[in-house]
Amino acid sequence: MNKGKLIIGAVALLGVAAACTHKAADTAEMSAPAAPSPIAGPTTGYIPRATVFRMSGPYADKVAVTLDAQGNLTYYPAPGDITKSSMPVYLKDGWWLNCQGLSAGSVFTDWTFTDYAALPATPSPSEIKAHIIPGAVVTAMERTTVPVTQAMQNLDKIKANL
C-alpha cells in the first residue's frame, strides 16, 4: 500500500512539474527573450602582470600621461589618483617597475608627483599637453611573470629576469 501511494505521489509530482514547465515555456514565448546566463564552471581568469619600463631620461619623479598615434591623450590621472605609491620603483640597468599604469605610448610631464597631486582639479587636455616634456618618452616596456598585486613583494624575482 505504501508503494502505491508512493507511485501516485510521484505521478502527481511529475504532472505538476510538467504543468509548471509548460506554463513557463508559454510565458517565455510571449515575453522578450531572456538574456543568456553565464555558464558556471572552472575559469582561469585574467591576472594582470606587472610591467617594467625604461625611459629616455631622468623622469622617474614626473607624472606620465599616454598619447595615441595621433597625439591625443588616452590616459591621464586625476590629481587624487597620484600618491607616493604611484612613483616607479628603480630595479636595475635603467629598468623601473611601472606603478602608474604606463604603456608604450606614455610620455612625461614636467609635473612632479607632489606638484600634480596638489592640483585643485584635473587639468584640461590642452593644459596637460602643454606640460609634456619634449622627448620624454617610455623607450621600452616589458611584461613580467609576476602578478601586479605581488610585484612589490617580488622585486628580486623581477630584477633577476631583466
Cell reading at 20: 509548471
Q: What's the mean per-residue pLDDT of the chain?
A: 81
Q: Is residue 79 part of a domain?
A: yes
Q: Is residue 149 part of a domain?
A: yes
Q: How far is CA 19 from the centre of its chain?
A: 47
Q: Is residue 143 part of a domain?
A: yes
Query: Is residue 59 over pLDDT 80?
Result: yes
Query: Is residue 63 over pLDDT 90?
Result: yes
Confidence band for 138, pLDDT divided at 50, 70 and 90? very high
Q: Is residue 30 part of a domain?
A: no
Cell reading at 78: 586625476
Query: Is residue 30 over pLDDT 80?
Result: no
Determine the Cα–Cα distance for residues 154 and 146; give it in Å rounded to an integer. Answer: 7
Assessment of whether the complete model's pTM goes beyond 0.85: no
Number of domains the chain is built from: 1
Cell reading at 58: 631622468
Q: What is the pLDDT of residue 160?
A: 93
Mean pLDDT of 134-150: 95
Q: Is residue 145 part of a domain?
A: yes
Q: Is residue 29 part of a domain?
A: no
Query: Is residue 120 over pLDDT 50?
Result: yes
Domain span holding position 68: 49-160
Query: Is residue 105 over pLDDT 60?
Result: yes
